[in-house]
Amino acid sequence: MEMHQIRYFLAVSETLNLTKAAERCNVTQPSLTRAIKALETELGGEVLRRERALSHLTELGQRMLPMLRQCYESALTAKMVAASIREGEAAPLSVAVSRTVALRPFTTMLRELSCAFPGLQLQLRRGTGAEVIEYLKQGTAELAIAGPLDEPWSRLDAFPLFEEPFHLVVNRTHRLAGKIRVEFTELASETLLINTECEMVEELKACLEANDIVNTATHQVATQEDLLALLDANLGVAIIPDGASATNGFRRIPLMRLELARTVSVYTVAGRPRAVACATLLNLLRAADWSFDARTAQQGRAH
Amino acid sequence: MAERPLSDIVEDAFIRCRDLQAPLAARLQAFADELRRLSPHFAEAVDALVNRLVESDAGATAPKVGEPMPAFLLPDEQGRLVRLNDLLGEGPVAIAFNRGQWCPYCRMNVNALARAEEEVTTEHRHIAAIVPDRQKFAMWLKSDAKAPFPLLTDVDNGYAMSLGLAFFVGDEMKHMMVNSGWDPSVSQGTDNWTLPIPATFIVGTDGIVHARFVDPDYRTRMAIEDMLAALRSAR
């Protein structure tokens, strides 16, 4: 499979017109048709129903489209990296991170990136799930790291990185701090600290309800920082993601039947040219061994 | 009890073939024969796939001898970014594309490369393998093959595809592979079902391809003696 075959196919999928697609790719129509035929041989079926001005994708073509686009973008990135590795050149990179996702697991990749691109200039934004999507749409962020984003936008590419469990976290002086484990019923009389801007707030509420924790007193906050400050002041207990609960000074206690976890993913916008630094970070994140990282992070906290 | 997958059944045969006192080509062939004996059905599907790749001239546009090897920047099994130029800093390098940790032929090939590296490392000649596997799986392959050299992750086969070395597995072969216990989507972390054509490029310190081996039949690999000779004669 050759890059130009996919490029021609993508052009046809966008124009739905062989003549226009050939023009856009700057080739003759016979060469475009030939290349797509070759691609079809490889894919084992027709991707296109050919009608001069009314061509359309077959079921196979539709099914293969997102995958072909992704493959093409990866190959394009590789080509771009090859062409543009120049020492010291300024490499701006804008990243949006959800307010509830800890940055720590990603700092090793950022350090690696800055070694490879000494001209790296990072712009880090924080936001709620909705804000993160907005940053991506507007192009103010090239790449985002967040929990599940409830967003139907078809151009949003999500690459899952790791599962992050939620834990019950209390102040060290809290009455539950000495417990080996806690039942949900023991939370009925507690004040719960809830971050209303967490991507998982609805899931958390549903989980509490499912375990008969209803009408419990809450303090609602909009940032993880404020939640931790209230936790530090012992104003309540919280059920928060693993990364956020790694802060010293708090106690993490197993909460029986708590099966709340989220998938932390890296998000990019399909079909938008990626700068080399962004593309390289995406590869670093996707190639990384998250299971190992999670384990060592866990061990680090245990000591 | 669930039926054992083919990948499990052939593991003993794999170890036996890998450890034969014979050239790599003979060991690969011994394993291919064993696989054909255990599952003629699977071997026929592989033949059909290879024929399809040969007919479509897969790999024909990959860099040729005398042409520059395009630069890359890929993470190794520990997450360190490696450039082709970094590798060429010390001397000529053999770049070996492999399909992944799950592939017995690749495990055998990387193991043979690992033994070959010992012979030339003191002569400032090195080897690097490229796989589409994520780090955890690249690390597994590295230790399985006892490879002292880096295993670089080519996410989505992007670099391989930019060289015309990636192909689609296709639905039929995909189902057969999954049922047999060979599922590259796990180690790749994507459902794209693309694989690289195993190929080896010997690149001189000037970045020019000095020798190469490209064969869409993934059951055959560059002979170790040929690779060593090319590495030694490269400048």
B74 touches chain A (CB under 8 A): yes
Element (H, E) at A286: helix A276-287
Q: Percentage of residues in chain A with pLDDT exceeding 70?
A: 93
B71 pLDDT tier (thresholds 50, 70, 90): very high
Whether B79 is covered by a domain: the verdict is yes
Q: What is the pLDDT of residue A292?
A: 54
B28 pLDDT exceeds 90?
yes
Residue with the two structure tokens 């080399």: A276
B136 pLDDT exceeds 70?
yes
Query: Do residue A85 and residue B139 have CB atoms under 8 angstroms apart?
Result: no
Residue A261's DSSP bridge partners are A165
Query: Do residue B83 and residue A116 have CB atoms under 8 angstroms apart?
Result: yes
Closest Cα of chain B to A191: distance in Å?
41
Q: What is the average pLDDT across A157-178? A: 93
Contacts of A78 in chain B (CB under 8 A): 70, 72, 154, 158-159, 161-162
B73 touches chain A (CB under 8 A): yes
Whether B212 is covered by a domain: the verdict is yes
B155 touches chain A (CB under 8 A): yes
Q: What is the average pLDDT across A128-150? A: 94
CA dihedral sign, ordered B12, B16, B18, B19: positive
A159 touches chain B (CB under 8 A): yes
B85 touches chain A (CB under 8 A): yes
Domains of chain A: 3-84 (1.10.10.10), 91-162+263-302 (3.40.190.10), 163-262 (3.40.190.290)
A43 touches chain B (CB under 8 A): yes
Number of separate helices (H) and strands (E) present in chain B: 11, 9
Query: Do residue B72 and residue A81 have CB atoms under 8 angstroms apart?
Result: yes
Contacts of B83 in chain A (CB under 8 A): 85, 116
Contacts of B55 in chain A (CB under 8 A): 41
Question: Could you give the dihedral angle defined by the CA atoms of residues B77, B81, B85 and B86, in that order, rounded to the nearest 10 degrees?
Answer: -70
Name the DSSP class of B39.
-
A294 touches chain B (CB under 8 A): no
Predicted confidence (pLDDT) per residue in A269-282, tens digit: 988 888 889 999 99
Q: Which of B55, B67, B81 to mutate to test the interface with A (most CBs of A within 10 A)?
A: B81
Whether B41 is covered by a domain: the verdict is yes
Per the model's pLDDT, the better-predicted residue between A232 and A246 turns out to be A232
Task: Look up the pTM and report it.
Answer: 0.91
Domain span at residue B176? 6-233
Contacts of B189 in chain A (CB under 8 A): 159, 286
- Other Cβ atoms less than 10 A from the Cβ of A215: the count is 6
Q: What is the β-pairing status of strands B126-131 and B151-153?
A: parallel
Phi-psi region at A272: left, alpha or beta (left = phi > 0; alpha = psi -120 to 50): beta
Predicted confidence (pLDDT) per residue in A222-240, tens digit: 988 899 999 999 999 999 9
Q: Which of B154, B168, B195 to mutate to test the interface with A (most CBs of A within 10 A)?
A: B168
Whether B120 is covered by a domain: the verdict is yes
B157 pLDDT tier (thresholds 50, 70, 90): very high
Burial of B97 (0-12, 13-18, 19+ CB in 10 A): buried
Written as six digits, the tokens of A46 are: 């027709």
Query: Do residue B192 and residue A79 have CB atoms under 8 angstroms apart?
Result: no
- Other Cβ atoms less than 10 A from the Cβ of B176: the count is 19
Number of domains in chain B: 1
Q: What is the average pLDDT across B157-179? A: 93
Q: What is the pLDDT of residue A1?
A: 79
Closest by CA position to A170, among listed A251, A226, A227, A225: A251
Closest Cα of chain A to B25: distance in Å?
27
Mean of pLDDT over chain A: 89
Tell me which chain B residue has its CA closest to the CA of residue A37.
Answer: B56
Whether B32 is covered by a domain: the verdict is yes
Per the model's pLDDT, the better-predicted residue between A296 and A191 turns out to be A191
Closest by CA position to A1, among listed B212, B52, B67: B52
Whether B219 is covered by a domain: the verdict is yes
B14: CATH: 3.40.30.10
Whether B102 is covered by a domain: the verdict is yes
Whether B1 is covered by a domain: the verdict is no
A299 pLDDT tier (thresholds 50, 70, 90): very low
Contacts of B167 in chain A (CB under 8 A): 1, 42
